[in-house]
Amino acid sequence: MGHPARDTDSPSTDTASMSSATTLCTRRVDTEKDKDVEAGAVLTPPTPSSPPTPKAEERTPDGAIIVDWDENDPENPLHWPAWRKYMTVGVVVFITALTAMNATSVGIMATWGVQWFDTTYTGFELSLTMYLGALSITPLILAPMSELFGRNAIYQVTSVITALLFIPQALSRSLPGLLATRWFQGMASAVGNSMVGGTIADLFNARDRGLPMSLFVFFTFVGQSGGACFGWIGQRAGIQWCYGVQGVAAGVSVLINIVCLRETRADVLLARKAARLTKQTGVPHVARSFGPKKSMLEMLTITAIRPLKYLVTEPIVTSLTLWIAFNWGCIFLGTSSTLLVFAQYGWSPGLLGMVLLTTLVGGVLGFVTNYHQEYLYRRATARSATGRAAPEVRLYWAAAGGLIFPLSMYGFAWTGRASISWGVPAMFLSLALWGVYMINYLADAYETFSSSAQASHSFVRNLFAATFPLFAHTMYKNLGYEIASTVVASVSLALAAAPCLLIVYGPALRKRSKVASALAEHY
């Protein structure tokens, strides 16, 4: 899958981190306000916290009562009990894990997929390309859909679609049929990438998101390592059951979603509250977070164009996007290449699949370092006169990871041979995966617009992941395992300068950015 992305009011993805949520006006989802900030306009800051009292009545020019959250309003997801918040997080990160497992299992299943679908290795790998390609594009339409229907409805519908599409995959022997179902399944599975981060932002204030965000990213690695079991399933029961087992897991997810998930998006809940009060009192009520109504086409235009604009015009987004996208693509390149490398040890397909457990080791290391990164961020926040740490603080471990990944790939390149114990290249592979653990920088740098910044990097990242496996087999066969991995490591080493340079020059770049500087003044 593509890495975890975040989403506050538009998709992101990938992976990764959250924008600040306020206590009253939980998030600025109205795109007209977004445009005002982008143009440098000053918005009214959120009202500071106070004891639980109803807000003074406000009305629109046409007499409708403006509905906002009361202080500590129990209907506000930010004020839900901790058990309910973490239950919701557990449900949605399970979706993330299934999405990741669906992607990484393809490389292992290729051994039987080539025969079952009567195709070439590259032909079967197209099923991964279709899945990740849809995963990269779909987040651009999830924002307006979630604004219209809420997050919960999208989770429920897409989980059912994902589960049902495993049926034709398990029964059909048609490659075109497989590719078609994989495309639509990728579209449905995109919620595991792009909406989970937004759900976490709905539930937790910025200072409390460290643990749930770490869980989000960690379960991506858990899902990827879960692909290890399909080596044994394919070897013993055939490729049909590889799809069948995933279908059963997706069905379990559907049931859990129905029982446990509730709407978390603040503007949708406020709109429902306004509608309820209107019905109860007969007096028109309107949610504060709602601005002028927009058509689906208008919202699609905003969510599709702004991420691409940031990718071209914002140096911070451009540099981090290239760095993260390449490293993320290497994970899927590695899923294919590692099976080739470890085949030199004479392992069976089932045993080869166990190599993916190195992903879990990298995820555990990443979880621990992310926890330490949160400690550094909290300490910097406490020492800051403004009460907010500079976004560059989040890049300390990212800069280390930028070096850990290529150095580990060099080690993997020259130790993956039958004359050296398999444990040595496996260790380097775990360290390499640790190095690509995601970061939270863009969300802090861009606040309200972080969803657009993240959407741009999620789009490119998943495109890299979709295309890299297509040439992995040919690249490693033609160049040789050592040279191919060395090329990958060298490119990554060059791109590793991005987080290091942003630690030094990030503040200056943000001051020169109209968007980032306007948000800094506002907050």
Do 452 and 10 form a contact (C-beta atoms < 8 A)? yes
- Cβ neighbours of residue 496 closer than 8 Å, sequence gap 6 or more: 323, 399, 402, 403, 405, 406
Q: Are strands 5-6 and 13-14 parallel, antiparallel or unpaired?
A: antiparallel
- Residue, of 414 and 462, whose pLDDT is higher: 414
Instruction: Please give the Cα distance from 474 to 347 (Å, whole number).
Output: 21
Where is mean pLDDT largest: 86-90, 226-230, 275-279, 411-415?
Answer: 86-90
| Three-state secondary-structure class, residue 390 | coil
Instruction: Please give the Cα distance from 409 to 224 (Å, whole number).
Output: 19
- Residue, of 262 and 231, whose pLDDT is higher: 262
Instruction: Please give the Cα distance from 75 to 72 (Å, whole number).
Output: 9
State residue 291's pLDDT score: 52
Number of Cα atoms under 13 Å in the Cβ half of residue 395: 26
Instruction: Please give the Cα distance from 311 to 296 (Å, whole number).
Output: 23
- Could you report the per-residue pLDDT of 199-234, keeping only the tens digit for each? 988 999 877 887 888 888 889 888 888 877 888 888
The shares of helix, strand and coil residues in the chain, as percent rounded to the nearest 5, are: 75, 0, 25
State residue 195's pLDDT score: 85
pTM of the predicted protein model = 0.80
Strand partners, 14: 5
Q: Which of 374, 329, 369, 276 is nearest to 465 (CA)?
A: 329
State residue 158's pLDDT score: 96
Q: Which letter does DSSP use for residue 67 in this model? A: E
Provide the residue type at 80 as one letter.
Answer: W
- Could you report the per-residue pLDDT of 471-497, keeping only the tens digit for each? 888 888 888 888 988 998 999 899 888
pLDDT tier for residue 14 given thresholds of 50, 70 and 90:
very low
- Cβ neighbours of residue 405 closer than 8 Å, sequence gap 6 or more: 327, 330, 432, 435, 436, 489, 492, 496
Architecture of domain 5-292+306-522: Up-down Bundle (1.20)
pLDDT tier for residue 262 given thresholds of 50, 70 and 90:
very high
Instruction: Please give the Cα distance from 44 to 50 (Å, whole number).
Output: 17
Q: Which of 485, 473, 450 is nearest to 37 (CA)?
A: 450
State residue 451's pLDDT score: 62
Instruction: Please give the Cα distance from 3 to 327 (Å, whole number).
Output: 11
State residue 387's pLDDT score: 80
Instruction: Please give the Cα distance from 55 to 45 (Å, whole number).
Output: 16
State residue 523's pLDDT score: 47
State residue 2's pLDDT score: 47
| Three-state secondary-structure class, residue 297 | helix
Considering only CA atoms, give the Rg of the chain.
Answer: 23
Residue 375: burial class (beta carbons within 10 Å; 0-12, 13-18, 19+) = exposed
- The number of residues making up the chain comes to 523
| Domain locations in the chain as residue ranges | 5-292+306-522
- Could you report the per-residue pLDDT of 151-176, keeping only the tens digit for each? 999 999 999 999 999 999 999 999 99
- Cβ neighbours of residue 332 closer than 8 Å, sequence gap 6 or more: 103, 104, 107, 128, 132, 465, 466, 468, 469
Secondary element (H or E) of residue 65: strand 65-67
Q: Are strands 285-287 and 65-67 parallel, antiparallel or unpaired?
A: parallel
Q: Which letter does DSSP use for residue 138 in this model? A: T
> Among 3-12, 60-69, 355-364, 452-461, where is mean pLDDT lowest?
3-12
pLDDT tier for residue 143 given thresholds of 50, 70 and 90:
low
Residue 410 has pLDDT above 90, yes or no: yes
| Three-state secondary-structure class, residue 6 | strand
State residue 84's pLDDT score: 96
> Among 1-5, 95-99, 342-346, 418-422, where is mean pLDDT lowest?
1-5
* C-alpha pair distances (Å), 522 with each of 43, 90, 297, 421, 446: 7, 34, 29, 57, 12
State residue 443's pLDDT score: 54
Where is mean pLDDT largest: 32-36, 131-135, 227-231?
Answer: 131-135
pLDDT tier for residue 520 given thresholds of 50, 70 and 90:
low
- Dihedrals phi, psi of 346, to nearest 5 degrees: 75, 25
- What does the block give as tokens for 469? 């496996």
Residue 364 has pLDDT above 90, yes or no: no
State residue 48's pLDDT score: 43
The pLDDT > 90 percentage for the chain reads 24
| Three-state secondary-structure class, residue 5 | strand
| Three-state secondary-structure class, residue 15 | coil
